[in-house]
């Protein structure tokens, strides 16, 4: 056998991992609470939470204990058998979410795939085989599988991978007229993120969501909320629909549900859920005992008295800090968000540059499109840490815009 070449991790990554990510020049080796550390031990305040995944911070003791105990008990069994963590999670999760039944998968895209299949099965069964079209919106993001990337009404995600599956219609502007225009006799559902995440942190107005609810009732359509990013406490309630007060027929979750382990969930009330019968859908890993046991710990932590109230208070604090910053920094053109999910829109498309300048100062933030800096802090963040973060963000924005002026 030829000898393995000695390669640095950077070389191995650059040569042998498919280049789907524009990798940041940072190797993360360890996480603790709201901080992560690089290989030299440098500390970063993490306002990304692994893109809204590590919502309780890194290595939260309750989650580590739950996962560790389950690792020593049972890693995996087929879904043809009952396992305790999955049944316990199903009961707690449906109760917290306001639904009767759940289908477990491993990711956001899979949770949305299940929602699409379920909506179609329900509608075909109830109204006839012609039903199947789903309406989605500009700036949406629903995942990377072929069906969910087609549901994602953003051409940049669909380049070079056609033919795409049919059955989706896009609405450009969030007006009732445009939605009504898109409805055909084949329409079976409307799918929307209550706060568009990847598409720029855009909260959808509550009265528009209520109007969609009424329209769905009137036309016999199912309303699907993609809460993959907004779920598990991010908006100050367990789910964003509870913050807004408009209940969908199907809701999907993933990202933060198991605090960093892979897990997706698709929930519905009984009359919709029974359209999945044995053999109509499935997943080898879905509802895995380690993920399920850890998700129970996430739920117990987030639903403990006072936790969500604290998220709401901390969210309002962050909002005030960002508003104060934007009133003194003219390069900030908009500040949008709910709870602990915020977007800071810049007057020019420099979000990536600002992200770099923040990282150099020990602060990790995300972008959402070319002009929006996105903040998704762990839900356990303190006001003191946010004060520092907003100050650093202000400095980073000033530096980036100054450099551009000089050029
Ligand atoms: C991240 C995300 C997805 C996709 O989730 P994956 O786990 O990457 O498949 C879908 N919808 C929304 C709203 C998301 O934020």
Catalytic one among 99, 103, 104, 141? 141
128 CA → ligand 1 middle, Å = 30
* CA pair distance 176, 164, nearest whole angstrom: 27
- Is pLDDT of 5 > 80? no
Position 300 scores a pLDDT of 98
Assign 291 to helix, strand or coil: helix
- Residue 349, C-beta contacts closer than 8 angstroms, at least 6 positions apart: 370, 371
Average pLDDT over residues 391-403: 97
Position 404 scores a pLDDT of 84
**249 and 281 Cβ atoms separated by less than 8 Å:** no
Question: How much is the pTM?
Answer: 0.97
Ligand 1 site: residues with CB under 6 angstroms?
107-109, 112, 141-143, 193, 197-198, 226, 228-229, 254-255
Strands 250-253 vs 264-268: parallel, antiparallel or unpaired:
antiparallel
Q: 41: alpha, beta or left, given left = phi > 0 and alpha = psi -120 to 50?
A: left
* CA pair distance 160, 313, nearest whole angstrom: 45
- The domain made up of 61-302 is a member of CATH 3.30.70.330: no
- Is pLDDT of 407 > 80? no
Burial of residue 188 (number of CB atoms within 10 Å: 0-12, 13-18, 19+): buried
Average pLDDT over residues 174-203: 98
* CA pair distance 171, 216, nearest whole angstrom: 15
Nearest 5 degrees, angle CA 175-CA 219-CA 280?
Answer: 110
What is the percent of the chain with per-residue pLDDT over 70, rounded to a whole number? Answer: 99
In a 13 Å sphere around the CA of 101, the CA atoms on its Cβ side amount to: 14
Residue 405's pLDDT band, with cuts at 50, 70 and 90, is confident
Characterize 4-17 residue by residue with b for buried, 16 or more Cβ atoms within 10 angstroms of its Cβ, and e for exposed.
eeeeeeeeeeeeee
Strands 35-38 vs 101-105: parallel, antiparallel or unpaired:
unpaired
Q: Whose CA is nearest to atom 6 of ligand 1?
A: 108
* CA pair distance 336, 316, nearest whole angstrom: 12
Could you tell me the residue ranges of all domains in the chain? 61-302
**115 and 191 Cβ atoms separated by less than 8 Å:** yes
Residue 187 corresponds to which tokens in the numbers above?
């329409």
Average pLDDT over residues 337-357: 98
Q: What is the mean pLDDT of the chain?
A: 97
Q: Which atom of ligand 1 is nearest to the CA of 196?
A: 13
User: What would the pLDDT profile of 328-339 be if each residue is shown by its tens digit?
Assistant: 999 999 999 999
Residue for token digits 């075909």? Answer: 124
Q: Which atom of ligand 1 is nearest to the CA of 108?
A: 5
User: What would the pLDDT profile of 263-314 be if each residue is shown by its tens digit?
Assistant: 999 999 999 999 999 999 999 999 999 999 999 999 999 999 999 999 999 9
Q: Which of 198, 202, 239, 233 is nearest to 381 (CA)?
A: 233
Position 125 scores a pLDDT of 98
Catalytic one among 104, 137, 225, 255? 255
Q: Ligand 1: which of 228, 253, 369 to mutate, most ligand atoms within 8 Å of CB? A: 228
- Is pLDDT of 3 > 70? no
- Is pLDDT of 4 > 80? no
Catalytic, 141? Answer: yes
Position 151 scores a pLDDT of 98
Chain centroid to CA 366: how far? 13
Chain centroid to CA 221: how far? 24
Q: Ligand 1: which of 51, 109, 194 to mutate, most ligand atoms within 8 Å of CB? A: 109
- Is pLDDT of 1 > 80? no
Catalytic one among 46, 226, 249, 371? 226
Q: Whose CA is nearest to atom 15 of ligand 1?
A: 229
User: What would the pLDDT profile of 97-154 be if each residue is shown by its tens digit?
Assistant: 999 999 999 999 999 999 999 999 999 999 999 999 999 999 999 999 999 999 999 9
Average pLDDT over residues 3-30: 90
Q: Which of 28, 60, 67, 61 is nearest to 45 (CA)?
A: 28
Average pLDDT over residues 6-31: 94
Burial of residue 35 (number of CB atoms within 10 Å: 0-12, 13-18, 19+): middle
Catalytic, 225? Answer: no
Intra-chain end-to-end CA distance of the chain, in Å: 53
* CA pair distance 60, 18, nearest whole angstrom: 31
- Is pLDDT of 325 > 60? yes
Position 383 scores a pLDDT of 98
* CA pair distance 48, 26, nearest whole angstrom: 14
Average pLDDT over residues 227-256: 98
User: What would the pLDDT profile of 59-110 be if each residue is shown by its tens digit?
Assistant: 999 999 999 999 999 999 999 999 999 999 999 999 999 999 999 999 999 9
* CA pair distance 254, 283, nearest whole angstrom: 15
């Amino acid at each position: 056998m030829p000898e393995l070449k000695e390669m640095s991790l950077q070389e191995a990554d650059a040569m042998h991992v498919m280049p789907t990510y524009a990798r940041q020049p940072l190797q993360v080796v360890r996480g603790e609470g709201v901080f992560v550390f690089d290989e030299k031990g440098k500390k970063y305040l993490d306002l990304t939470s692994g893109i809204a995944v590590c919502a309780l911070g890194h290595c939260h003791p309750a989650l580590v204990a739950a996962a560790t105990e389950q690792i020593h008990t049972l890693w995996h069994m087929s879904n043809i058998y009952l396992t305790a963590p999955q049944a316990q999670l199903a009961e707690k999760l449906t109760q917290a979410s306001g639904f009767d039944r759940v289908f477990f998968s491993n990711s956001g895209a899979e949770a949305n795939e299940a929602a699409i299949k379920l909506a179609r099965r329900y509608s075909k069964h109830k109204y006839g085989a012609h039903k199947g079209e789903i309406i989605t919106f500009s700036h949406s993001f629903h995942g990377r599988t072929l069906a969910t990337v087609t549901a994602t009404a953003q051409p940049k995600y669909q380049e070079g991978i056609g033919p795409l599956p049919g059955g989706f219609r896009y609405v450009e502007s969030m007006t009732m007229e445009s939605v009504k225009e898109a409805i055909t006799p084949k329409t079976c559902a409307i799918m929307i993120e209550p706060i568009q995440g990847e598409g720029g942190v855009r909260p959808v107005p509550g009265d528009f969501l209520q109007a969609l609810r009424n329209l769905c009732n009137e036309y016999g359509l199912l309303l699907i909320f993609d809460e993959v990013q907004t779920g598990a406490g991010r908006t100050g309630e367990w789910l964003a629909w509870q913050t807004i007060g408009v209940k969908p027929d199907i809701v999907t979750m993933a990202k933060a549900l198991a605090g960093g382990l892979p897990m997706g969930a698709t929930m519905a009330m009984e009359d919709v859920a029974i359209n999945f019968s044995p053999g109509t859908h499935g997943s080898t890993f879905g509802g895995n005992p380690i993920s399920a046991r850890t998700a129970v710990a996430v739920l117990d932590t987030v639903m403990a008295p006072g936790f969500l109230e604290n998220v709401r208070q901390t969210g309002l604090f962050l909002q005030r800090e960002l508003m104060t910053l934007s009133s003194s920094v003219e390069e900030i053109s908009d500040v949008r968000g709910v709870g602990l999910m915020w977007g800071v829109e810049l007057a020019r498309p420099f979000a990536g540059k600002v992200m770099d300048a923040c990282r150099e100062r020990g602060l990790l933030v995300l972008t959402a499109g070319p002009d929006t800096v996105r903040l998704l802090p762990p839900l356990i963040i303190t006001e003191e840490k946010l004060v520092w973060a907003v100050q650093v963000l202000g400095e980073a924005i000033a530096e980036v815009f100054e450099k551009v002026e000089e050029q």
